[in-house]
Amino acid sequence: MGTAAYDRLVGAVMRGGTVVHRGVDRVSAGRWGRRLGPVPAVWLTTTGRRSGQPRRTPLVAARDGDGSDAPYLVAASAGGREEAPAWSHNLRAQAERAEPARLQAGDAHLVVEVEELHGAERDRCYAAMVRLASNFASYEQHATRTIPVFRLTPRRRGGPRRAPQ
């Protein structure tokens, strides 16, 4: 179960890590920001639901299937904290407005459709996140909330479109 002390500590570590990750990505012109520890990172750009400003966040993402056109899966784990990360609230608001989000995976800049997963499908996809990075198992143990999982599917009209830079 999560505690206030755990939430404060993990929150501070994650915020600091994100700041460092953004800085390293910026300084290296994107060459060094493609990993979060041992796993590949993607960059999710959402629209702030209150500010309307773009918000770019590095995340661990699993693929939902094989092939280069397989959707991406992201989990709003927040390291197992009780409060879900802000990007997940922004992403949910975009999905409700049927507004796509943007995803950078390697050199690909994609416009993606957003789908929040539930029930057995959510569980199957969260298990894929655990297989990719075992720390997701401990996040689920710490949080008393169900950790949201989102499927991000690249738009296909004539192939994946590039998001505006």
Q: Which long-range contacts (CB under 8 A, 24 or more apart) does 47-56 make?
A: 47/90, 47/93, 47/94, 47/99, 47/101, 48/86, 48/90, 49/89, 49/90, 49/93, 49/94, 55/86, 55/87, 55/90, 56/22
Written as six digits, the tokens of 124 are: 């199957």
**Is-contact 112 73, C-beta < 8 A?**
no
Q: What is the pLDDT of residues 53-63, one digit of tens each?
A: 999 999 999 99
Measured distance CA(151)–CA(139) in Å, rounded: 19
Measured distance CA(125)–CA(61) in Å, rounded: 11
pTM: 0.82
pLDDT at 2 over 60: no
Q: Give bridge partners of residue 116 from the DSSP assignment.
A: 150
Name the more confident of 56 and 164: 56
Q: What is the pLDDT of residues 21-68, one digit of tens each?
A: 566 667 766 666 676 677 888 999 999 999 999 999 999 999 999 988
Q: What is the pLDDT of residues 75-89, one digit of tens each?
A: 999 888 889 999 999
